[in-house]
Structure 1
Amino acid sequence: DDRETIMNEFKQIHQQPNKEAAIKVLHVFYDYPKQIRASIYSTNMIESFNNVIKRKAKSKAEFPTEQSLDTFIGIQAMSYNERYFNRIHKGFGQVQDTLESYFD
């Protein structure tokens, strides 16, 4: 749930007008434990999900309505979440207590 918020914070680094301003924003990245920095910087999980959507949508020539496309993507997202619900991404298991303390 918090991935979007975190990614938006990182995007601020790239949107800064100069190096000095970017360095001031960069401190956000280093607030997170070292074990998970590579995972939260990467878009591998998002790209993986996008590939699932593309692969499954390929067999369907077109969707009759926008609602049918929304339904299809929603079903794929729920299926993907169920399949990977218990998966702990690289580094997150090591710092779970630390991460949970951020949200207390």
Structure 2
Amino acid sequence: MTSRYVVVYCDATFLNVRRDSVAKEALHIIIGITPEGNKEVLDFALYPTESASNYKDMLLSLRERDMEHVLLFVTDGLSGLCEACLEIFPDAKHQSCWSLIVRNVMKYVRSRDKKTVLNDLKRVYNAETLEAAKNKLYDFLSKYQVIYPKIALLLSDITSLFTFYDFPETIRKSIYTTNIIENFNRNLKRGTKSKEQFPNEDSLERYVCSYCIDYNQKFGSRAHKGFAIVQVEPNKMFGNQLLHTNTHNY
């Protein structure tokens, strides 16, 4: 673990665990990307259900273990999670996951309109600049708010739609979704298919710990796509964050 992370992702996956009976429990995962672009599993913890307070406890533990600065948190729509992240790291920023936003929007769309709506929505978050993205969003809402009013309400309720535009263009596609951690969870679960259930919590934790060690060894020395060529800019952002923190301390 280092003291600085450009981006931190929080998500959970559900696995069968036997206690007195068998039930699915939420394995909470936190993954970070360093200024050098290295991916690292920072922590995992098993809880009966997923909640923001669980992530808050994990982030507190990470801060106590010398994780000092985070530029960006990327999360799904779990209630209270954004607030929990920014309470522990108040100088960080937050990005809502666009993959989840798209899935939620498409729930309200008729089958015959899905392709058109999806293409129009992609134009919003694939716009080259923040100003262009805001204009595309305005056009999208103007086109669909009468036909699908729930879409307009959904998008207007989401904060931090476009935070990723504050970061270098080469890494934006890695930070506007939680795809990195969702892929991790998917591959983790694929390895459990031979196990209908874990006989106890210790068995699950041994498996997950081994998987995380392998993951960190594999990705801890290679830069994730786009990060290697923009190291200077995130380091400048850390400098600005430190300046902001020191200003508030006086």
- State the TM bucket, normalised to the shorter chain: 0.7 to 0.9
> 8 Å contact 1:12–1:25 — kept in the other structure?
no
Superposed CA deviations along residues 63-89 of structure 1, whole A, max 9, x for unmatched, are 110222122112201111111112211
Decide whether the 8 Å contact of 2:97 with 2:178 is kept in 1. no
With normalisation by structure 1, the TM-score equals 0.73
1:62 alignment partner AA: Q
Structure 2 match to 1:63 = 198
Change over 3 Å in CA distance of 1:64–1:6 after alignment to 2: same
Q: Tell me which residue corresponds to 2:183.
A: 48
Which is richer in strand? 2
1:96 aligned to 2:231?
yes
Structure with the larger helix share: 1
In 2: Cα distance, 1:80 partner to 1:95 partner: 23
* Structure-1 residue corresponding to 2:74: 7
Identify unmatched segments of 5+ residues in structure 1.
none
Distance 2:229 2:188 in 1: 30
- Are the aligned partners of 1:29 and 1:37 in contact in 2 as well (CA < 8 Å)? yes
Normalised by the length of structure 2, the TM-score is 0.35
Which amino acid in the other structure matches residue 90 of structure 1? K
4+ residue stretches of structure 1 with deviation over 4 A?
Answer: 17-22
Equivalent position of 2:54 in the other structure: none
Q: Secondary structure at the match of 1:94?
A: helix
Question: Secondary structure of the equivalent of 2:191?
Answer: helix
User: Which one-letter code corresponds to 2:230 in the other structure?
Assistant: V
| Alignment CA distance shift 1:28-1:67 (3 Å) | same
Structure 1 vs Structure 2: percent identity of aligned residues? 36
Q: Distance in 2 between matches of 1:103 and 1:47?
A: 26
Residues 1:53 and 1:25: Cα distance change in structure 2 (over 3 Å): closer
Q: How big is the shift at 1:99?
A: 1.1
Pick 1 or 2: higher relative contact order, CA cutoff 8 A, min separation 6.
1
Alignment CA distance shift 1:92-1:58 (3 Å):
same
- Alignment partners' CA distance in 1, 2:226 and 2:211: 26
Structure (1 or 2) with the larger CA radius of gyration: 2
- Structure 2: gaps (5+ residues): 10-71, 76-93, 102-152, 240-250
Match of 1:73 among 193, 208, 221: 208
Cα displacement (A) at 1:43: 3.4
Distance 1:100 1:52, change over 3 A: same
Moved more, 77-86 or 40-49: 40-49
